[in-house]
Structure formats: C-alpha cells, structure tokens
Amino acid sequence: MREKQDSEHSSVEALCIQAAPPLSSTASVAVQLQSLANFIDCRHGYTTLKAYAGPKHYSAGIRHGNWITPRETKSAEDPSIINSSQSQVSTVNLPYSEADIRAIEEWVRRHVETTWHGIGTYAMAPREGNSVTSHGVVDERLNIYGVSNVKVADLSIAPSNVSCNTYSSALLIGEKCATLVAEDLGYSGDALKMEIPT
C-alpha cells in the first residue's frame, strides 16, 4: 500500500506493509520501508536516543582503553539496560522547549547520514515516473531530459537501490555509456566490439 505523508518539511510517498486483520486489526502500519522518510521520525529518534543514552545505559560491557593498557576498573559498574535485568528502563520524559525542538531539527538536517550508497538522484525512468520513482531525469540512452549533448554515467541513474555490489553496477553503467556515446558518434558493428586485454 502506498501512503502519502505530509509534514512541514517535506511530502514523501512511503511503501507500507500492513498486518493482516486476523493478526492485528488495530495496527495501521506494521512496517514502513523508508528509513526516516518523515522528519518527525528523525526528531523522535534524537530525543529518544538522548533519553536512553545516560551514563548507566547501554554500556554492554565495553571498556575504554587500548590493547596494551586496559582501563582499570575501580568498582563494580552499575547495572545497565543491556547487561543486567536488574535495571528498570527510564520512563522519565525529558523536557524540550520549542527552541530545543528547532535546534534538534537543525542538527538532524546537518548530521543525519545514510549507510546506503547515494544513488538514484538522476533516475533513469520515464519523465512522468513509473511504479519505482515519481519522476525520471535520464532517458534510456542516458540523456538528461531537456538538455542536449549531456549524458549521465554513474550510479545516480539507478531508480532505486541495487541488490548487488554497487561497484559492479557502476562498471556496467560505464561500459554501456561508452557504447551509447560511440553509437551517437556514428560507430556501429565491429567498431563497438570491446576486447578484454590479456
């Protein structure tokens, strides 16, 4: 199901998976397949992280130091959420003013990064879009719509993330672009054959 989400910062379309009615008739969205699509998620993630990232939480037994000189432990550590069942999860709501919220939103805008490769900014798709992307920028010969004599030959043409190694996809795109440019320059037949050096 496609769900339109509007906020003061953006309007995005997210692909959502709903739970089947016998499993849950109250949940509207079970899984949203677009990480941080709604800016409110970013703000909530930051404030929740701050609430749980106190000095007694999430230590998981990690000790500071190095391989040669480990840190000395002077006393037993307090139980934390991860390494002890004796600690209760803090339910204290941290107070945030409107100025705090604006500062958090600005910080998130400047610092949130992705672990995904930044691809798809010049999607190869019909100009009006399709089922994968809302609009296309590059046609099937890697030409930018409305621009003459310019081709795009990198991972930005992928309409969505690829399900393989991105390096191999980049090589494939580069090789195909070389063929398309040669064709545009009038080469054909045997002139387009590529030989792998031995």
Query: Which residues are paired to 15 by β-bridges?
Result: 2
**DSSP SS3 for 32:** strand
Would you name the residues annotated as active-site residues?
Answer: 117
As a whole number of angstroms, the distance between CA 181 and CA 179 comes to 6
Helices (DSSP H) in the chain: which residue ranges? 39-52, 98-111, 166-184
User: Is there a contact between 33 and 16 (Cβ–Cβ < 8 Å)?
Assistant: yes
Query: Which residues are paired to 2 by β-bridges?
Result: 15
Query: Which residues are paired to 32 by β-bridges?
Result: 16
**DSSP SS3 for 77:** coil
As a whole number of angstroms, the distance between CA 141 and CA 173 comes to 11
Q: In one letter, which amino acid is 197? A: P
Query: Which residues are paired to 5 by β-bridges?
Result: 12
Q: How many helices (H) and strands (E) does the chain have?
A: 3, 3
